[in-house]
Amino acid sequence: GEQQAEVGSPAHYFRTVCYGARKDRTPDRMRGRHTDWLAAVAKARAKRAAGDDGSSAATSAEARRRAKVSSDAARKAAFHARGSQYFISSPGVRYSYEWLRPWANHPRLLAQLDTVRRHRPPKRARREYYGMLYHGATLLRDHINTPDAGLYVAFQILSKMVTINHLREGGKERTKSEMLGRVRMVMTGGLEQLVAEMVREASDAAAAKREREAAARASELERQGGSGAAADAAAAMRRGAHAP
C-alpha cells in the first residue's frame, strides 16, 4: 500500500490540502481543507506531547503554540519544495510586486513584447499554471480599487508571456518541462528575472532584424544600380546597420 505521510510533513500537507480532483479545488474548499489540516496537525502534536495519556498537556496553550509553529514550518517547506500551486501557499515567501510599476504605468511596454500565444499549458503543467493565474487574479480582486491594481494586471500578462508563450521574433517554442519549470520559478519569486531575459532577447532579435533588412536593401540597390551612386548608397546602408 501507499506509504503513510507523517502528519505535519510537507508530503502530508500536499496530499491533504493540495491534491485532489479539480472540482474540489475551489477557493472555499481549499480554505476548509487547509483549516482542517491545521487542526489535525495541532491534535497530533498535542497527542504526542501528552504521551497518549490524555493529560491536560494535550490542550495546553504551549502545546497548541508548538503545533502551530510546526505546521507553519511544514507549510513553508511544502511551498519551497513543490512551488506554490495555490494561493494558500503564498505566505511561505515574502515578495514585492513594486518592480512591476513601470509596466503598470506604461502599458505600451507590454505591447512591445510580441509573443506567439499558446492558449493552454501542457497537461503536466496545467495545475500549477492555473494556480499561478489564480494567484494573480486573487491579488487583482483584492486591490481592484487601489492604485496597485495595475501591478497585478501586469503580473498576469507577463507571467503568461514568460511561461507558455515565446517571442515571435527570435524566440522558440518551449518544451513542456521548461514551461512547468518557469511556472514554478514565477511562483518562487523569479518573474522579474524571466522578464528581464525576455526583454534582452527581444532587443537582440530586433537588432538582428534591422541588420538583415538593411543588408537586403543594400543588396537590392547593388542589383539595381550595379555601380556608382547606388553602390555607394548600399555601402552607406551597411555601415549604418552596424553602427552602435
pLDDT at 12: 79
Please give the backbone phi and psi of residue 88, each rounded to the nearest 5 degrees, phi first.
Answer: -70, -15
Query: Could you please report the per-residue DSSP string of 150-184?
Result: HHHHHHHHHHHHHHT-EETTT--PPPHHHHHHHHH
Q: Which three cell numbers stand for residue 59?
A: 490542550
Bridge-based pairing state of the strands 166-167 and 115-116: antiparallel
**Side chain identity at residue 95, one-letter code:** Y
Q: Which three cell numbers stand for residue 99?
A: 518592480
* pLDDT tens by residue, the chain, 244 residues: 455 777 877 777 777 777 766 666 677 777 778 888 888 888 888 887 776 555 555 456 776 677 666 666 665 555 554 444 444 344 455 678 899 999 999 988 888 888 888 878 888 888 889 888 888 898 899 999 999 999 999 999 999 999 998 888 777 888 888 898 888 888 877 888 899 999 998 888 888 888 888 888 888 887 776 555 555 665 666 666 555 5
pLDDT at 18: 75
Q: Is-contact 146 159, C-beta < 8 A?
A: no
- Comparing CA positions, the residue from 79, 52, 89, 50 lying closest to residue 67 is 50
pLDDT at 239: 63
